[in-house]
């Protein structure tokens, strides 16, 4: 029997690699090479996996849910059906009569597009919506006047409330940071520079600011869209009365001024 065959018998009997290598005077790597090349396999080499498995818990993790809240107290209306009241509630979610009608009544889009606006024109629907809006305003502690006040603040916001800007005289300095003396005047040389400084946030109404940043080109301050705010106010305010003589005088002066501007412009064009 060769040395390798005897080593195999020892390996199958359970002898360790290092003991086999020492017994036959070979390197440990040689024994491992014999084992791999000739596919030596002990009978107990493959350990059976334990059949013991951890019992799975039958308890299911309870899903966290928000506590239920009592339903809101809706205004009573014996004049409306349940679907009409549902339409009103859906309408106040998106202010979309077509969508509200589909949610309350179902049906096709074309039907909802016709019947939704028709429901809004119903006097009983209008009254019920008014009651719901009143309840919403009470819950939010505000009304349309509060919103209009905020829009008015946006419309008449002034950049001067947020930045301090202007020009100032400063002493000129050299490369070493030392002030430059002017022998002709006998005083330090000065120059005029512009400045823009932000005011402290504690002193201003930040709700009217859309953007504030300091970039490569300096300070950037952007207010809410004033033209849009002014238009919103005009759309919601009554038509101005122009019976007052001073108002009429102002309008007359403006009209005459515009006529003169256009007349001068026409004369210049004719000469050209």
- Domain presence at residue 252: no
- Domain presence at residue 174: yes
Q: Note whether 91 and 135 are same-domain residues.
A: yes
In this structure, the number of other CB atoms found within 10 A of the CB of residue 80 comes to 18
Read off the pLDDT of residues 207-233 as tens digits, 9 standing for 90 and up.
788 888 877 877 788 888 888 888 877
Domain that includes residue 221, residue range: 143-162+204-238
**162 in Cβ contact with 199 (< 8 Å):** yes
Angle, nearest 10°, between helix axes 17-24 and 28-37?
Answer: 110
What is the helix (H) or strand (E) element at residue 209, kind and residue range?
strand 209-215
Q: How many helices (H) and strands (E) does the chain have?
A: 10, 6
Q: Note whether 135 and 150 are same-domain residues.
A: no
> Strand 181-182 vs strand 209-215: parallel, antiparallel, or unpaired?
unpaired
Read off the pLDDT of residues 137-158 as tens digits, 9 standing for 90 and up.
666 555 667 777 778 888 888 8
Q: What is the pLDDT of residue 139?
A: 62
Identify the bridge partners of residue 181 per DSSP, sorted by sequence position: 188
Q: How many domains does the chain have?
A: 4
> Strand 163-171 vs strand 181-182: parallel, antiparallel, or unpaired?
unpaired
Q: What is the pLDDT of residue 48?
A: 47
Q: Note whether 150 and 88 are same-domain residues.
A: no
**For the chain, what is the mean pLDDT?**
76
Q: Which of 84-88, 143-147, 149-153, 164-168 has the lowest mean pLDDT?
A: 143-147
């Amino acid at each position: 029997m060769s040395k390798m065959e005897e080593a195999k018998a020892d390996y199958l009997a359970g002898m360790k690699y290092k003991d086999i290598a020492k017994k036959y005077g070979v390197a440990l790597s040689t024994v491992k090479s014999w084992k791999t090349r000739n596919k030596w396999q002990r009978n107990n080499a493959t350990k059976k996996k334990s059949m013991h498995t951890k019992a799975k818990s039958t308890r299911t993790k309870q899903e966290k849910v928000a506590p239920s809240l009592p339903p809101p107290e809706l205004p009573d209306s014996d004049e409306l059906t349940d679907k009409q009241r549902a339409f009103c509630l859906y309408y106040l979610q998106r202010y979309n009569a077509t969508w509200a009608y589909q949610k309350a009544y179902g049906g096709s889009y074309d039907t909802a597009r016709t019947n939704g606006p028709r429901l809004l024109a119903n006097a009983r629907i209008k009254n019920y919506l008014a009651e719901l809006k009143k309840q919403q305003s009470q819950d939010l502690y505000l009304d349309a006047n509060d919103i209009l006040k905020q829009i008015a603040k946006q419309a008449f916001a002034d950049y001067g409330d947020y930045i301090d800007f202007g020009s100032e005289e400063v002493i000129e300095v050299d490369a070493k940071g030392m002030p430059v003396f002017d022998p002709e005047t006998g005083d330090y040389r000065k120059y005029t520079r512009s400045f823009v400084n932000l005011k402290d946030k504690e002193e201003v109404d930040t709700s009217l600011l859309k953007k504030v940043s300091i970039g490569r080109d300096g300070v950037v301050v952007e207010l809410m869209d004033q033209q849009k705010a002014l238009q919103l106010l005009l759309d919601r305010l009554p038509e101005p009365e122009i019976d007052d003589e001073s108002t009429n005088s102002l309008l007359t002066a403006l009209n005459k001024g515009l006529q003169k501007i256009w007349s001068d412009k026409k004369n210049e064009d004719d000469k050209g």
